[in-house]
């Protein structure tokens, strides 16, 4: 279709913005959302005018009924026609081998595992996928298939572009949609990560792909035997001897340095630099308290040899 027909369609009177339209404010406010927008601009390599009109559509709220499922994105976009246009985006699914290698790499790094299991997406996670020969984001045009029911033959049309921008803001809010777009749900990835961290080895691909979401993160069940009231607070066997050490650590704040900065951290100093002095003072106070309890039964230390007048003053104070 010619550019003139697209321009005529653009100039046509638009339908009112739907009440359930998704109005974006700033797509790409996070690194993963920005990566998605860059994929739109680099992989699709579409007409800059169509991309600009798509961004206008997204800001006006003309995209609605957005659904992300089974690696596909479906949405409706209200334009100049009575019936909304049907838009669909599909990303190529990553292979089971690529997923297994990426999950093994995640499990090998404590910080990545801690952030993922806490519901946060690590900033450098795509580096692990690229090391496995893949990526969470489309890098080639063949990885991204788009379609729209509009008569514009442009690639992408403004309705597809609008859906991309809306999806970019959705990724800002929930980056785990990237997993869904590439063939794995968040519960499936976290279940495989827990298994790898526990030393159980990679979860079989057939089991991971066919496991319902509710079962993927199901905790192990525990069966309790009969217990009488008399045995409630009685130890079943001798408790082991507990040994405590109150030696000062060689380095303060080592755990804070290992954990790194959370995604929402915006201060100039790192958490380790800001919190280490506080943690150090708290640890020293706890150590003094523990050592005082340990030495509570010890005889009092001998009074140092003081001048006669000072010994008399101290004796007078203690007799009051």
Model pLDDT for residues 123-146, shown as the tens digit of each residue: 888 888 888 888 888 888 888 888
| Residue 37 shares a structural domain with residue 85 | yes
| Residue 49 shares a structural domain with residue 6 | yes
Residue 52, domain member (yes or no): yes
* % helix, strand, coil for the chain, step of 5: 45, 10, 45
| Residue 147 shares a structural domain with residue 42 | yes
**Residues 103, 124, 208, CA angle at the centre, nearest 5°?**
20
Query: Would you state the pLDDT for residue 277?
Result: 83
Q: Which token pair is 177?
A: 């949609």
Segment 86-92 shows an average pLDDT of 91
Contact 26, 34 (CB under 8 A): no
Distances, alpha carbon 162 to alpha carbons 66, 77, 104, 143, 210, in Å: 11, 8, 36, 19, 33
| Residue 43 shares a structural domain with residue 1 | yes
Query: Would you state the pLDDT for residue 2?
Result: 39
Contact 148, 160 (CB under 8 A): yes
Contact 9, 15 (CB under 8 A): no
Q: Where are the beta strands (DSSP E) in the chain?
A: 63-69, 72-77, 85-91, 144-148
SS3 at position 101:
helix
How many independent structural domains does the chain possess? Answer: 2
Cis ω on the peptide bond leading into residue 156 (within 30° of 0)?
yes
pLDDT above 60 (res 163): yes
Confidence of residue 86 (pLDDT cuts 50, 70, 90): very high
Query: Would you state the pLDDT for residue 13?
Result: 59
Could you report the per-residue pLDDT of 206-224, keeping only the tens digit for each? 444 544 433 333 444 445 5
What whole-number distance in Å separates Cα of residue 41 and Cα of residue 192? 33
| Residue 27 shares a structural domain with residue 165 | yes
Q: Which token pair is 309?
A: 């007048």
| Residue 41 shares a structural domain with residue 163 | yes
Residue 12, domain member (yes or no): yes
What whole-number distance in Å separates Cα of residue 185 and Cα of residue 208? 10
Confidence of residue 185 (pLDDT cuts 50, 70, 90): confident
| Residue 21 shares a structural domain with residue 99 | no
| Residue 21 shares a structural domain with residue 162 | yes
Mention every residue, 6+ apart, whose C-beta is less than 8 A from residue 316.
Answer: none
pTM (predicted TM-score):
0.57
Segment 158-182 shows an average pLDDT of 88
Contact 193, 108 (CB under 8 A): no
State percent of the chain over pLDDT 90.
Answer: 7
Query: What DSSP state is assigned to residue 79?
Result: -
Q: Which residue range forms the structural domain that includes residue 148?
A: 1-94+138-174
| Residue 51 shares a structural domain with residue 125 | no
Segment 20-45 shows an average pLDDT of 79
Could you report the per-residue pLDDT of 287-303, keeping only the tens digit for each? 888 777 555 545 554 44
């Amino acid at each position: 279709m010619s550019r003139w027909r697209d321009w005529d369609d653009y100039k046509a009177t638009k339908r009112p913005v739907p009440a359930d339209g998704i109005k974006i404010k700033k797509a790409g406010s996070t690194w993963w959302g920005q990566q998605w927008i860059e994929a739109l601009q680099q992989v699709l390599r579409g007409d800059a005018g169509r991309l600009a009109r798509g961004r206008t559509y997204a800001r006006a709220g003309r995209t609605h009924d957005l659904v992300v499922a089974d690696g596909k994105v479906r949405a409706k976009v209200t334009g100049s026609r009575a019936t909304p246009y049907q838009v669909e985006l599909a990303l190529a699914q990553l292979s089971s081998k690529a997923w297994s290698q990426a999950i093994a790499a995640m499990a090998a790094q404590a910080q990545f595992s801690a952030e993922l299991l806490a519901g946060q997406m690590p900033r450098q996670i795509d580096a692990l996928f690229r090391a496995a020969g893949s990526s969470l984001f489309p890098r080639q045009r063949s990885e991204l298939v788009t379609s729209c029911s509009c008569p514009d033959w442009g690639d992408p049309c403004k309705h597809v572009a609008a859906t991309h921008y809306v999806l970019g803001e959705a990724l800002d809010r929930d980056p785990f949609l990237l997993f869904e777009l590439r063939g794995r749900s968040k519960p499936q990835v976290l279940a495989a990560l827990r298994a790898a961290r526990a030393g159980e080895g990679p979860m079989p691909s057939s089991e991971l792909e066919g496991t319902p979401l509710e079962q993927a993160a199901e905790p192990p069940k525990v069966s309790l035997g009969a217990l009488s009231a008399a045995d409630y607070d009685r130890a079943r066997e001798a408790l082991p001897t507990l040994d405590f050490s109150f030696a000062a650590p060689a380095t303060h704040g080592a755990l804070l340095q290992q954990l790194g900065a959370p995604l929402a951290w915006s201060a100039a100093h790192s958490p380790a630099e800001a919190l280490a002095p506080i943690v150090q003072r708290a640890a020293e106070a706890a150590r003094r308290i523990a050592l005082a309890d340990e030495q509570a039964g010890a005889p009092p230390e001998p009074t140092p040899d003081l001048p006669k007048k000072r010994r008399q003053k101290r004796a007078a104070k203690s007799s009051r």
